[in-house]
Amino acid sequence: MTESEFLGSYDPNKYARPCIAADAVVFTYAEGRLQVLLIRRKNHPFRGRWVFPGGFIEVYEDPDEAVGRELREETGVEVDDLVQLGTFGRPDRDPRYHVISIAYFGVLPPRSQMQPRASDDAMDAAWCPVQQTEPLAFDHEEILAVALDRLRREVTRLSFALRFFDRRFTGAELFGLYQEVLGKKLDGERLLRRLSRVCLEKPTMTRPVRIGRRKLRQFEATLGAWWL
């Protein structure tokens, strides 16, 4: 038998197989709080519970395209730089069937974040403070923990931290992001010295914020600061 003959006679339904889904964990930093995008489920199982936007991958659909499609369909939000976070496949994670989820991870600046609009399988969609979210359905608490661990490692790179902001932001906002994500006291003087090497300092009429003995002014990031 040739390979062409084998493929022509192959039955893909010969073996039972799990379903595959894609979920999106999207963070933003707004009003001094780290927030995550969630939807409230419209259907069973876990009807009325909060989860990450996501859904089943269609046959012959690329997972990278599927997660973007599900995110748009359920929230109206688009994120350009979603990257794979991990695969979650515990057999009992979904009461319907064995469903494997490929989770994705991304961030949006607060001024460019779209106001989520619930649609498709979602009865509600919202940006929720990470520290005040209700218990999530399925194994999304586990996914959130993995995403936060990844975020804490990534945000220590200034080039990644700046993705949370538009071109205009204050040093106080950046300092607040680090404090919120890392959950520990930081050296504001050291942060300002590091920031001054990659940003153009631009005084504005904004009331300055003090950290130690230094005043923070509004900064405008140079293009190079995004790609250190």
pLDDT band at 220 (very low <50, low <70, confident <90, very high): low
How far CA 211 is from CA of 155, 184, 208, in Å, comes to 20, 15, 10
Per-residue pLDDT, 205: 52
pLDDT band at 210 (very low <50, low <70, confident <90, very high): low
Q: What are phi and psi of 40, to 5 degrees?
A: -100, 125
pLDDT band at 191 (very low <50, low <70, confident <90, very high): confident
Q: Is 209 helix (H, G, I), strand (E, B) or coil?
A: strand
Q: How many CA atoms lie within 13 A of 219 on its CB side?
A: 26
pLDDT, tens only, 171-182: 788 888 998 998
pLDDT band at 63 (very low <50, low <70, confident <90, very high): very high
Determine contact, residues 116/36, Cβ cutoff 8 Å: no
Which of 108-122, 148-162, 186-200 tops mean pLDDT? Answer: 148-162
Please state the rounded mean pLDDT for residues 90-99: 96
Where do the domains of the chain lie, and which CATH numbers do they carry?
A: 19-154 (3.90.79.10), 158-227 (1.10.10)
CA distance 173 to 31: 9
59: region left, alpha or beta (phi > 0 left; psi from -120 to 50 alpha) = beta
Cis peptide before 45 (omega within 30 of 0): yes
Per-residue pLDDT, 9: 92
Q: Give, for 73, the enclosing helix (H) or strand (E).
A: helix 63-75
